[in-house]
Structure 1
Amino acid sequence: MAGRQTKSCVFLFLVVVLPVATALICFQCADSTDKANCQSYSRMRKSRKYYNDNGGSLKYNMKNCTKHLNVCAIEEISTRGDVQAYIRDCSDGLTFSFNLTKFYKLLPDNQTTCAYSNNQLVCITLCKTDLCNGPSSASIQMTSLMLILLAISMSFLLKR
């Protein structure tokens, strides 16, 4: 009898907990300036936006992704160093604001890939673990450094 109850408890645990445990949680927010809440964890946390997904409440701009949106993403669009859009969200890893061939086969390895389109620099980062698309001072500093290095490289190429 005790063995049967144990098996029932294990089965119930698997049915109830596994679907919840396998859902990917990503940060979700969007901004259109470089000093807005989405790019800084402290400002994003102070904004305290709550999302109610699947009957549960997640705080600090967190979102349960669906099975079709199976990676977390950061998308940044800037013109001459000014941020036009900064987006953190769940993604299918294929669909972005700009349909550029460079973004067709991105891996969710937390590496940033950038491309130009109509004088706009578009950068995409994909990752596949809970809250991996969250802001940190180090990632923002690295993004700024990367943009500066890219601008210097482009200026050398354009002078030729």
Structure 2
Amino acid sequence: MTNFIFDIFLILQLTSLSGALYCYQCGDGRNDGPCQEDLEEMAKDHAKHLDSSQNYTDLDFTYRKQCPDSEPTCVIERVQVNGVIVAYIRDCSDGVNFSINASRFMNFSPDKNITTCSYVEGKFFTCVSLCNSDLCNGPQTDSNTSSASKVTLLWTAMFSVAMCLLF
């Protein structure tokens, strides 16, 4: 009977772990920091994450983080002052609290992938991107296109749209 209870407990634990969200976690306080530039290592993390043939542990990953249930989305936060990046963050998020809060960032739907930008207090140009699939807040492995070019194109497009909307 004790083995049966232990087996049920183990199955429940494994089931709850398999539904966990994984996000990239890092932060920079400058334009060219590793959170923005180390896309190759993030792509390696993504490939390892998808590789079920190996038994990787958390120590085998440089940027991957398992999110708690209270943070069901991945986030990228980008904060600029006078065109200079002062904060660049990839992490798990509750979709409500950010390093710089603005009214524009309130009431996001956690089941949507969304990016929005705002001038905060006329000083900070801040963009927040939320998504809800594993490692969606960074490069994805793809044999046809380099991860670095995908991320660069994404941020260039988001910045261009945000600038058009604000001016």
Which interval holds the TM-score relative to the shorter structure? 0.7 to 0.9
Which residue of structure 2 lines up, in the alignment, with residue 51 of structure 1? Answer: none
Q: Does 1:61 align with 2:59?
A: no
Contact 2:138 2:151 in 1 (8 A): no
In the alignment, does 2:149 pair up with 1:145?
A: no
Report the Cα offset of residue 98 of structure 1.
1.7
Hey, what does 1:37 align to over in structure 2?
34
Shift of 1:92: 0.6
1:116 aligns with 2:119: yes
**Which runs of structure 2 are paired with 1:1-160 in the superposition (5 Å)?**
11=8, 14-40=11-37, 41-42=39-40, 56-57=58-59, 59-108=61-110, 109-117=112-120, 118-135=122-139, 136-137=147-148, 138-151=150-163, 154=166, 157=167
Taking structure 1 as reference, are residues 94 and 38 closer, same or farther at Cα in structure 2, changes over 3 Å only?
A: same
- Tell me the secondary structure at the aligned position of residue 59 of structure 2: strand
Question: Structure 1 residues 100 and 152, CA, compared in 2 at 3 Å: closer, same or farther?
Answer: closer
Counterpart residue identity of residue 125, structure 2:
L
**How many correspondences in the alignment?**
142
Unmatched 5+ stretches in structure 2: 45-56, 140-146
In the other structure, the counterpart of 1:52 is: none
- State the TM-score, normalizing by the size of structure 2: 0.71
Query: Could you tell me whether the CA contact under 8 Å between 1:107 and 1:126 is conserved in 2?
Result: no
User: Is 1:45–1:60's contact at 8 Å kept on the other side of the alignment?
Assistant: no
Structure with max Cα Rg: 1
Give the whole-Å Cα distance in 1 for the aligned partners of 2:162 and 2:101.
Answer: 21
Identity of aligned residues (%): 33
Does structure 2 conserve the Cα–Cα contact (< 8 Å) formed by 1:37 and 1:44?
A: no
Unmatched runs of 5 consecutive residues or more in structure 1: 1-6, 47-54
The farther-off stretch of 62-71 and 107-116 is: 107-116
Q: How far off is 1:59 after superposition?
A: 0.6
Report the Cα offset of residue 142 of structure 1: 2.4
